[in-house]
């Protein structure tokens, strides 16, 4: 046991805990355990933690956390726990040891007190790679859980990540819909995950061992779509050959008709007959072929709007939408954005060999209020792009986001020339309307509350940039992709004095 703990130092710091009686129990734990004093010295390091890190306890005891792991002491979970003097529970954490071993873990850290005085912290570490193999509930965070299944699909319900109540309701509906043969219609904007839902429904159903065949109706020319769906016979038209269609290919399985509102109305009528008769006729054929398939369809705008705009037949809608599932857009999932961000960070840590632990609060504020026109797909690609350029940093900051993303949010009703009469030109320029706007308010937030919220977020963003730039206005403007004139104006507006930031540069780590 001595090699796993500095006994003298341990008892001098934690004399009242009866700690020595606990050490054999801690050493037998199936979770990693690290105990540190307030200076970051490691007092105890059990065998399970040694296995996670591929290190010998004798090399670790008495050393500082920042010397054993490739991270700044202030970025460690142990320091953050002691700084807040509060527990940190179930935090996903990626780190690398001084020998280069990358670990994917879940940390729970608790402050230790003697006579109400903080004396250290105890950290419990779960090996994430092992955990996800034994707990199916965590397999949602596995980036390559199913590269490709035998039926040609890639996704199951355990691959779908979400935490928002409305999203989880849609997920529950999808699981229930998988248990029947009834048609399912999915409504979701581009990038919201309709394909993942469709494949997951198939793989959760009794048809999972049969084919899953999907087609994006918007991507196929109208003249070819009928032949692809129903098949052709030789001589039906110039160049036609005997070829079965997607419905025959999927017999016994599932057909996914993505963006069915892009299908020609005339072809929708033929599809309606297939649903009624459960038979298809190849283009140019005289006979019919019986089929047994489950049909999952999707629309990328509300069904009532698609019907009103004559993109979708009403009678076909009633046939296809026996179960109608609305997948909420990302902007309506405030509770799920943080979970998704952590998931994509984890995924890209593995793919890119990075050690990013999370995003800064200004970035998370931006994520929660951004309108996300590309939904989950946009968030995924945004984080991947940022992590490609993050360098050695372990926190995703505003400066790592693409400038055009911030520029898209830059609009304000309070242009700088209204306050700077000497610079008035009588005409607003693009620069004059620039503002680091963070988006729109949630339902129920008044105009005054919204304005105050936006201004607070804007001030924090500029403050972060000025700190990173050491008070250099030109550099701050470059980071935020706005004009120097605007930065000067905003500094006056928010009472930000340049002298306060000089000498405080943080190597451009803002946000």
Q: CA-to-CA distance for 401 and 141, rounded, in angstroms?
A: 23
Q: Is the dihedral of CA 157, 162, 163, 169 positive or negative?
A: negative
Q: Compute the average pLDDT of residues 441-467.
A: 64
Higher pLDDT, 456 or 111: 111
Q: Between 1.10.10.10, 1.10.8.60, 1.10.240.10, 3.40.30.10, what CATH number should domain 337-500 receive?
A: 1.10.8.60
Residue 416 has a pLDDT of 39
SS3 291: coil
Residue 490 has a pLDDT of 85
**Which residues are 303's β-sheet partners?**
none
CATH class of the region 141-328: alpha beta
For helices 484-494 and 447-468, give the axis angle rounded to 10 degrees.
Answer: 120
Q: Say if residue 445's pLDDT is above 60.
A: no
Q: How many CB atoms lie within 10 A of CB 418?
A: 12
pLDDT level of residue 69 (50, 70, 90 thresholds): very high
pLDDT tens digit string along 192-242? 999 999 999 999 999 999 999 999 998 888 878 888 899 888 876 666 678
What does the domain layout of the chain look like in residue ranges? Answer: 2-133, 141-328, 337-500
**Which residues are 472's β-sheet partners?**
none
Residue 138 has a pLDDT of 29
Q: Which of these ranges, 39-48, 277-286, 435-444, has the smallest mean pLDDT?
A: 435-444
**Cα–Cα distance list, 184 to 210, 260, 295, 496 (Å):** 18, 12, 7, 56
Q: CA-to-CA distance for 169 and 385, rounded, in angstroms?
A: 31
Do residues 391 and 399 lie in contact, with contact meaning Cβ atoms separated by under 8 Å?
no
SS3 283: strand
pLDDT tens digit string along 318-365? 999 999 999 999 999 888 898 899 999 988 998 888 889 899 988 898
Strands (E), 63-101: 88-96
pLDDT tens digit string along 120-153? 999 999 886 554 443 333 223 333 444 567 777 8
Q: Which of 54, 16, 13 is nearest to 32 (CA)?
A: 54
Q: Which of these ranges, 117-121, 240-244, 432-436, has the smallest mean pLDDT?
A: 432-436
User: Could you say which architecture CATH assigns to the domain 2-133?
Assistant: 2-Layer Sandwich (3.30)
What one-character DSSP code corresponds to residue 182?
Answer: S
pLDDT level of residue 444 (50, 70, 90 thresholds): very low
Residue 133's Cβ-side half-sphere holds a number of Cα atoms within 13 Å equal to 5
Helices (runs of H) and strands (runs of E) counted in the chain? 21, 16
Joined together, the tokens standing for residue 491 give: 């500094």
Burial class (CB in 10 A: 0-12, 13-18, 19+), 163: middle
**Cα–Cα distance list, 471 to 89, 475, 488, 505 (Å):** 37, 8, 11, 8
pLDDT level of residue 398 (50, 70, 90 thresholds): confident
**CA torsion 138→142→148→150, rounded to 10°?**
-20
Q: CA-to-CA distance for 260 and 219, rounded, in angstroms?
A: 11
Residue whose structure tokens are 């996800």: 132
């Amino acid at each position: 046991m001595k090699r796993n703990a500095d006994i003298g130092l341990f008892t001098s710091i934690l004399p009242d805990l009866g700690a020595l009686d606990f050490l054999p129990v801690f050493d037998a734990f199936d979770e990693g355990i690290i105990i540190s004093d307030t200076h970051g010295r490691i007092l105890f390091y059990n065998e399970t933690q040694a296995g996670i890190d591929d290190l010998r306890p004798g090399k670790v005891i008495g050393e500082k956390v920042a010397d054993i792991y490739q991270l700044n002491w202030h970025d460690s979970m142990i320091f953050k726990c002691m700084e807040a003097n509060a527990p940190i529970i179930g935090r996903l954490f990626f780190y690398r040891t001084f020998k280069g071993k990358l670990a994917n873990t879940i940390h729970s850290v608790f402050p230790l007190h003697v006579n109400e005085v903080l004396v250290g912290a105890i950290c419990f570490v779960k090996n994430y790679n092992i955990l996800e193999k034994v707990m199916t509930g965590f397999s949602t965070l596995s980036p390559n859980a199913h590269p490709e299944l035998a039926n040609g699909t890639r996704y199951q319900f355990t691959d779908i990540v979400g935490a928002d109540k409305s999203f989880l309701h849609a997920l529950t509906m999808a699981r229930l819909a998988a248990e029947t043969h009834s048609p399912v219609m999915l409504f979701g904007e581009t990038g919201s995950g309709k394909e993942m839902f469709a494949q997951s429904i198939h793989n959760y159903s009794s048809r999972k061992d049969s084919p899953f065949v999907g087609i994006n109706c918007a991507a196929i020319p109208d003249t070819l779509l009928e032949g692809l769906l129903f098949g052709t016979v030789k001589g039906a038209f110039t160049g036609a050959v005997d070829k079965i269609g997607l419905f025959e290919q999927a017999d016994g399985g599932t057909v996914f008709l993505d963006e069915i509102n892009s299908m020609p109305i005339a072809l929708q009528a033929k599809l309606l007959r297939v649903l009624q008769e459960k038979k298809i006729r190849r283009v140019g054929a005289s006979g019919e072929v019986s089929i047994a398939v489950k049909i999952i369809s999707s629309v990328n705008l509300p069904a009532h709007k698609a019907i009103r705009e004559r993109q979708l037949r009403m009678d076909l809608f009633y046939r296809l939408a026996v179960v109608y599932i609305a997948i909420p857009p990302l902007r309506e999932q405030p509770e799920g954005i943080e979970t998704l961000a952590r998931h994509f960070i984890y995924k890209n840590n593995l793919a890119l060999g990075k050690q990013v632990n999370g995003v800064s609060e200004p970035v998370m504020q931006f994520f929660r209020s951004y309108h996300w026109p590309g939904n989950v797909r946009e968030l995924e690609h945004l984080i991947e792009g940022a992590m490609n350029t993050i360098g050695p940093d372990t926190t995703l900051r505003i400066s790592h986001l693409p400038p055009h993303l911030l520029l898209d949010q830059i609009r304000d009703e309070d242009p700088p020339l209204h306050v700077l009469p000497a610079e008035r030109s009588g005409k607003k320029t693009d620069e004059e309307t620039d503002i680091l706007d963070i988006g729109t308010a949630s339902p129920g937030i008044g105009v005054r509350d919204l304005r105050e919220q936006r201004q607070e977020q804007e001030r924090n963003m500029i403050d972060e940039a000025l700190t990173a730039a050491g008070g250099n206005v030109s550099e701050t403007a470059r980071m935020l992709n706005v004009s120097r004139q605007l930065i000067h104006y905003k500094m006056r507006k928010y009472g930000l004095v340049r002298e306060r930031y000089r000498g405080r540069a943080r190597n451009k780590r803002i946000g």
